[in-house]
Amino acid sequence: MQRVLSGIQPSGDVHLGNLLGALQNWVADQHTHESFHPIVDLHAVTVPQDPAELQTATLRLAQMLMASGLDPDICVLFVQSHVPEHTQLAWVLECTAGFGELRRMHQFKDKSADMDFVCAGLFTYPVLQAADIVLYDTDVVPVGDDQRQHIELTRDITQRFNARYGEVLVVPEHRIPPAGARVMDLQEPTRKMSKSADEAPGTIWLLDEPDTVRRKIRRAVTDSEAEVRFDREAKPGVSNLLEILGAATGRSPQEVAAGYDRYGELKNGCAEAVVELLAPIRRRFDELSTDPGETQRALAAGAETAGEIATATMARVREAMGFLPRG
Measured between alpha carbons, how far is 31 from 71 in angstroms, rounded to an integer? 10
**Which of 133/220 has CB closer to ligand TRP?**
133
Measured between alpha carbons, how far is 125 from 139 in angstroms, rounded to an integer? 21
109 counts as catalytic: no
Name the β-bridge partners of 192.
Answer: 184
Should residue 7 be labelled a site residue for ligand TRP when binding is judged by CB under 6 A?
A: yes
Burial 124-156 (b: 16+ CB within 10 A, else e): bbbbbbbbbbbbbbbbbbbbeeebebbbebbbb
Residue 85, number of CB atoms within 10 A of its CB: 20
111 counts as catalytic: yes
Should residue 18 be labelled a site residue for ligand TRP when binding is judged by CB under 6 A?
A: no
Should residue 303 be labelled a site residue for ligand TRP when binding is judged by CB under 6 A?
A: no
Should residue 5 be labelled a site residue for ligand TRP when binding is judged by CB under 6 A?
A: yes
**Which of 206/274 has CB closer to ligand TRP?**
206
In which order are the strands placed within the sheet that holds 34-39?
A: 76-79, 34-39, 3-5, 140-142, 173-175
Should residue 189 be labelled a site residue for ligand TRP when binding is judged by CB under 6 A?
A: no
Should residue 29 be labelled a site residue for ligand TRP when binding is judged by CB under 6 A?
A: no
Measured between alpha carbons, how far is 251 from 243 in angstroms, rounded to an integer? 9
Among 46, 68, 129, 222, binds ligand TRP (CB under 6 A): 129
Long-range contacts of the stretch 119-127 (C-beta < 8 A, 24+): 119/46, 121/45, 121/46, 122/46, 122/47, 124/90, 124/94, 124/97, 125/43, 125/46, 126/97, 126/102, 126/150, 126/153, 126/154, 127/90, 127/93, 127/94, 127/97, 127/102, 127/153, 127/157
Should residue 42 be labelled a site residue for ligand TRP when binding is judged by CB under 6 A?
A: no
Should residue 43 be labelled a site residue for ligand TRP when binding is judged by CB under 6 A?
A: yes
Should residue 40 be labelled a site residue for ligand TRP when binding is judged by CB under 6 A?
A: yes
Among 6, 11, 35, 46, binds ligand TRP (CB under 6 A): 6
CB of 149 to ligand TRP, least distance (A): 11
192 counts as catalytic: yes
Should residue 133 be labelled a site residue for ligand TRP when binding is judged by CB under 6 A?
A: yes
Should residue 23 be labelled a site residue for ligand TRP when binding is judged by CB under 6 A?
A: no
Say how many residues touch ligand TRP, by CB under 6 A: 12
CB of 268 to ligand TRP, least distance (A): 34
Query: What residues are labeled active site?
Result: 111, 192, 195
Binding site for ligand TRP (CB under 6 A): 5-7, 9, 40, 43, 129, 132-133, 141, 143, 147
